[in-house]
Structure 1
Amino acid sequence: MAETSLIEAGASAASTAAALENLQVEASCSVCLEYLKEPVIIECGHNFCKACITRWWEDLERDFPCPVCRKTSRYRSLRPNRQLGSMVEIAKQLQAVKRKIRDESLCSQHHEALSLFCNEDQEAVCLICAISHTHRAHTVVPLDDATQEYKEKLQKCLEPLEQKLQEITSCKTSEEKKPGELKRLVESRRQQILKEFEELHRRLDEEQQALFSQLEEEEQDILQRLRENAAHLGGKRRDVAHLAAEVEGKCLQSGFEMLKDVKSTLEKCEKVKTMEVTSVSIELEKNFSSFPRQYFALRKILKQLIAPHSGFSRQRM
């Protein structure tokens, strides 16, 4: 089964390489044998670099031959082939990608294929590396086996990441609703204070305003903490979503690409599992309603009333 897969993979790679080579041929100029630059098409249908065909016909005044099929045309007819120009750019990009993949899939030290994976060092190695002194005592497995193993590990990370993402989203939604709830609580407390101070409003105006000021400060403080926590949760949500997207992307990558920095990705996943998601309490200070206001208010009034009379009595005496 494994041999069949290897054969099929090899055949697919060979087919892709052949197709890319054919594309490079079609995107090349028959005169300079380089990629076409400002491609133009002549009457016979062949394409050349504009500069190459112009030099080819430089000394001719009529009967302009094609450098490929030798078919002549009476007039110097050069039509820009913009579509072919776009294909040339694509061929260049594909060639660059092919070169990059080829370089990255080779051992930088021995220039051999990275076909094995060292479990201790968590890196792809070539056969020469595996038998060298550096990795001789390590556990080395085929790259395909390591790819499958770490793909399963990464996939197991997705579920807790998604759960944490949902938890953060739910908490953030709840936090965003709390300013409205806080406003209603504050208004309820405000009405309570007004009712309690209704009888003694004339004497307790200063105290009432002081309590309103404290309440306002507390509200602003809680609102500030709610905004900061919502922003903090938003950042955590973006980080977890980015990590989840990174893990999903890795699961879709080839073996070598997926295993690159896989240890770092798994460590980040472990950190997310223990990430704390906290909520800000919107409970108001209990001392706002824990003391008998009327009692203290009456004591203050009595002191204000008694003081003048005491002075008056002393004067009479």
Structure 2
Amino acid sequence: MAFAASLAELQAEASCPICMDHLRDPVTTECGHNFCLSCIHQRWEGLQDTFPCPVCLHHCPDRSLKRNTQLCHMTEIVQQIPTSGSQRKLQEEIPLCGKHNEVLTLFCEKNMELLCAQCKVSSNHQDQRLIPIEEAAASYRRILKRYIGALTNNLENAEMVYKNQAANIWEVKRKMEKWRKEVDYECKNIKFCLEIEQDEIDNDLLIEENDVEEELIENGRQTLDHMFRLSDLLSEIEEKCLQTDLDLLTDIESIHNSYENIEPPAIFSYELKKESFFLPPYYFGLHKMIRMFQVDLTLDPETAHPTLIILRNRKSVLYRTIFGFHNPHELTSCPAVLSSEGFVAGRHFWEVNIEGTAEWSLGVCKESFPRNTLISPSPSNGCWTQTFGPSPIGQGKIGVFLDYELGEVSFYNLNKFSFLCGITATFTGKLMPYFSIASSSESLTTSIIRV
């Protein structure tokens, strides 16, 4: 294969760039290119003063050319070498100028097209810069290599964008699924609250119904007794009217007194109280509070008690008994850890998910809260917390709301969307969210809910 290529190159070197045939009476120009004597004279026919080389356009001073005897002998030898079919095909496939049927040796940078030497003298390209094909190819090969580098970078960037967009699709699906579950949870919670409210209203209505019914029954009995008394008195008076004068006036006083003293029973009147249902008073306020003031917190391992394990995501803390560990920044008074984020003003809301049956404490403390001491957290030393649990169900979501300027820390049951309790104080300096888990034989996990 290499021999065939070398042979093809040898035959190309022994060919005239003008007629593309073997050199006949080869002559060499001043610039070193070789041509058939008849071909170069024909090319320069009609020219005066300037005789350009058909290959490189070098201006030869005159028509005088040196005959190349050695190249003549070499061409004769090359002609005797048999040409294979593939070599003949290669020679036949050499592109020629469509106008002049000559070898394409030049390149026009303006029009970006291949030309032959004859095109140089045509009117369309006299004022244009023409360069040899080899030079043009080398120049554009460098340009194409720059294109390759730029396109490679663009392709890598496009692949990165595609991967990011694919990841974004999954992130959108994850968030939508999360929000879908939250909506489902809230709807079930609303339904649960409404069912409780409905049961309470039904119970109140039943009690009121029974009370009114008893009153009406008693009033009806009294009215019936009064009807009997009126009927008896009416019969007695009618009978009295049929008696003689003497008999009529006998004991008339008792009949008169009975008539005068008849008093009907009081009529029982009632007004039913219409019961109405409503959602828990904090329900809509909590949703607005969460939307406006929720913050994303991470736990600070440097402040963690040695019995606490901070998970890699720095969102969860697990209670475990660990011996032989000491953290110089730990809160040694109780198993606690602080958030990495602190606040010096404003309103902030964060949610905590509790799993387990032990007690836990949530709140805020000053950044200067004493460490490496056995001081218990209290407002006197700059720690405002509330203790919860043990949870009867072993799991719960607690919301913590800090109003720095108002001086309040409020706690909410996010399972029932109800207010639990609150702490009031005067805050100064930086406050850090505080998380503490009481010692327990059972594991307990506290997770800061992601925003």
Same fold (TM over 0.5): no
Per residue, is there more helix in 1 or in 2? Answer: 1
Per residue, is there more strand in 1 or in 2? Answer: 2
- Flag the structure with more relative contact order, 1 or 2, with Cα contacts below 8 A and sequence separation at least 6: 1
Please report the TM-score for the alignment, with normalisation by the length of structure 1.
0.34
